Amino acid sequence: MSYREMLDTPCLVVFDDVLEQNLTEMASYARAHGLALRPHIKTHKTAEITRRQAELGAVGHTCAKLGEAEALADAGVLHDVLIAYEIVGEAKIRRLLNLMERVHVTVAVDSVAVAEPLSRAMQAAGTVLDVLLEIDAGLGRAGVLPGEPALRLAREVVQMPGLRLRGLMTHEGHAGRAADTAELERLGRAAGEAMVATAELLRRSGIPVEVVSVGSTPAAFVTTAVPGITEMRPGTYVFYDAASFRFGRIGPERCALRILTTVISRPAPDRAILDAGSKTLAMDPPPPGRHGHGYLVECPDAVITRLNEEHAFVQLPPHCQGLQVGDRVEVIPNHVCPVVNLQDELFVVRDGDVVATWRVLARGKVR
């Protein structure tokens, strides 16, 4: 029996062969370019893919939150992690110290206000924490600005006992929101160049910089082409999603994860209602140039016009109006990471059969 009949809906299906292709392609790229690969686990949140990434040569992993790292460390698959986030507050610093006893941990800092309490806690514990300066290379989120502001912060951090400044990191997520490939390349290159120039500025000032780390799947092959970048931290590449289509490098056939869903109502010839709503597809908007809440594999011209929590409203073009109540269809989500975060398991398919169920171990770990 095929997975399409076997699984109840809505559920997340992962195609093993496509996943393996995505994993090996990125691992090969990193190897060929002398880059350390430190994938972000936020996309898959599973022990199985964490382990496979390490087998394929990842130097370690990236997490946003301590809770993600704790879950994967508990599963025995995490050995070296960058928490690409500012650790703030006593409760989290206590957890960080615990995590450091079993995993090599590096964290991001973007201000003295973040770094000082870490320094005090590490001194008190008689240990040393590796840190990277988080640089804002254009995203406008957290991070210190490149150049002089970064140098000023580096000069303070490098003198703080209990902290060892290892280098710089950024998330060039703004490049992934570019309107076209030309803009993607311009923004990605500018981000990479700002990172390398800042690293050089620090080195000229006597501050050693070993790590110059960038992270973003859309810009992965652009930012890392700047000489001087040492590490890449892509996340989405394991599954890809509909937001990945628009730069042309990959299409639906490279999406390793789909939502299997059932038509539960056909209230009008041009409208179908699916049993996957925002609790399954998530509400992340489509990228520039695309419409609706996902890509319907069986009818790419259909538009998922609205989501309620448990309903997708689908506008069907004339050639797709044969869909009936009970039919199953597959959707590629706009943004795969929050979709995985909504589920407890992924169903792994090989040659049409369900061969494994992987637990979304790090689901909901927001702390």
CB 1, min distance to a copy of itself, A: 12
Q: How many CA atoms lie within 13 A of 22 on its CB side?
A: 30
Q: Which is nearer to a copy of itself, 183 or 310 (CB)?
A: 310
CB atoms inside a 10 Å sphere around CB 3: 20
Residues near a copy of itself (CB under 8 A) are 8-11, 42, 64-65, 85-86, 88-89, 91-92, 110-111, 113-114, 117, 136, 140-145, 173, 262-267, 271, 273, 275-280, 282-285, 308-311, 313, 324-326, 337-338, 341-344, 364, 366-367
Of the pair 145, 225, the CB lying nearest a copy of itself is at: 145
Q: How far apart are the first and last CA of the chain?
A: 41
Q: Using CA atoms, how far apart are residues 52 and 72, in angstroms rounded to an integer?
A: 13
Minimum CB distance to a copy of itself smaller for 10 or for 218:
10
Token readout for 297 is 């594999």
Report the phi/psi class of residue 198: left, alpha or beta, with left for phi > 0 and alpha for psi in -120 to 50: alpha
* Residue 38 or 65 having the CB closest to a copy of itself: 65
Contact 202, 8 (CB under 8 A): no
Measured from the CB of residue 51, what is the shortest distance to a copy of itself in angstroms?
23
Q: To the nearest whole angstrom, how small is the minimum distance from the Cβ of residue 360 to a copy of itself? A: 10
CB of 216 to a copy of itself, least distance (A): 12
Smaller CB separation from a copy of itself, 21 or 111: 111
Query: CB of residue 141 vs a copy of itself: minimum separation in angstroms?
Result: 6
* Minimum distance from residue 86 beta carbon to a copy of itself (Å): 4
Cβ distance to a copy of itself smaller for residue 30 or 176:
176
| Minimum distance of a copy of itself from residue 24's CB (angstroms) | 26
From the list 67, 61, 72, the residue with the least C-alpha distance to 105 is 61
> Per DSSP, what are the bridge partners of residue 231?
36, 213
* Cα–Cα distance, 232 to 114 (Å, whole number): 24
45 torsion bin: left (phi>0), alpha (psi -120 to 50), beta (else): left
What would the two tokens of residue 21 be?
């292709």
Contacts of 83 (CB under 8 A, 6+ apart): 62, 63, 64, 65, 66, 69, 96, 105, 106, 107, 108
Residue closer to a copy of itself (CB basis): 30 or 281: 281
For residue 326, the one-letter residue type is: G
- Which among 89, 118, 124 has a CA at the least distance from the CA of 106? 118
Instruction: For residues 116 and 105, give the distance between their C-alpha atoms in angstroms, rounded to a whole number.
Output: 17
Please compute Rg for the chain using Cα positions: 22
Examine residue 318 and say whether the peptide bond preceding it is cis (omega within 30 degrees of 0).
no
**Residue 269 dihedral angles phi and psi, to the nearest 5°:** -55, -35
- The least distance separating a copy of itself from the CB of residue 64, rounded to whole angstroms, comes to 4
Given the complex with a copy of itself, which of 254 and 363 has the nearer CB atom?
A: 363
When the beta carbons of 35 and 71 are compared against a copy of itself, the nearer one is 71
Nearest distance from residue 154's CB to a copy of itself, in Å? 16
